[in-house]
Structure 1
């Protein structure tokens, strides 16, 4: 994060999504939720889950209102690495966060620049 000129707070481990190394932190007045995407054996791209539990202990998408300012998805694959830093407003626009009748999503697949020969629906 220091390469970005940010001064991050001490990260707080996320209760859920531990297999994706989930944590939250703050930097320069902004809040962040972070996940590490995983390479999957049968499909190109890198998969990541992000959800929370409701009062009935059921997995649900994050809500726009409660979500931090940005989502950080890190991809590390041997010598290749990169990050997707997505503002909360874009997550709402793309219907990833639950908001006003939008169901939201609990997982996504990310395609860094080194992924090629992608399926046209990717």
Structure 2
């Protein structure tokens, strides 16, 4: 993805990231630095940054009208300009995906190694994915596969409401 450097001025952040920075990251001593926006996936709030020296790829998932869950793209461009999934050897620690529906709002904090185990990040000659569905706990799933996916994904999810995280331990465990 094409990126452009910019400051971490809170007014330049995607709305979801701005909210989480102000309500959660700042209150947990997580310093957001080295913000770079992707010029190709702005509709997904695509950017990269560091939180206390942990390298993050960030996206905002979109609601789709005909399926449960949210969809998000998670690809990058290789040196030949072709889209490809992230790779286990890429210099990143987490992919954070924000999800919002009505008054429900939260983030998935997926460690790179978990996404590799699930086949989402390329690993051991098994190609990963360029986009996935995420299922926050408030979404009702209609299939066994979606239910299975939601079960493992929600282990990495925290809800945000008025500055209170429903799982502060998760944030500390993953990001510290």
Rounded to whole Å, the distance in 1 between the matches of 2:28 and 2:64 is: 29
Compute the displacement of 1:104 (Å). 0.6
Question: What is the CA deviation profile of residues 69-108 of structure 1, one whole-angstrom value per residue up to 9, with x for unaligned ones?
Answer: 0110001222110100011110111111112211111111
Compute the displacement of 1:45 (Å). 0.3
| CA separation of 1:119 and 1:67: change in aligned 2, threshold 3 A | farther
> What is the SS of the residue equivalent to 1:84?
strand
CA contact (8 A) 2:69 2:141 kept: no
Partner of 2:55: 31
Higher helix share: 2
Q: Please say which of residues 33-42 and 97-106 is displaced more in the overlay.
A: 97-106
The aligned runs of 1:104-115 (5 Å cut-off) are 104-115=128-139
> What is the SS of the residue equivalent to 1:11?
strand
Structure 1: 4+ residue segments shifted above 3 A: none
The partner residue of 1:63 within 44, 62, 87 is 87
Rounded to whole Å, the distance in 2 between the matches of 1:100 and 1:15 is: 30
CA contact (8 A) 1:61 1:106 kept: yes
Q: Please say which of residues 85-94 and 60-69 is displaced more in the overlay.
A: 60-69
Aligned length, in residue pairs:
122
> What is the SS of the residue equivalent to 1:26?
strand
5+ residue gaps, structure 1, are none
Compute the displacement of 1:15 (Å). 3.8
Higher relative contact order (CA 8 A, sep 6+): 1
5+ residue gaps, structure 2, are 1-24, 147-176
CA contact (8 A) 2:69 2:134 kept: yes
Partner of 1:98: 122
Say what the alpha-carbon RMSD is for the aligned residues: 1.5
The aligned runs of 1:43-62 (5 Å cut-off) are 43-62=67-86
TM-score, normalised to structure 2, is 0.64
TM-score, normalised to structure 1, is 0.90
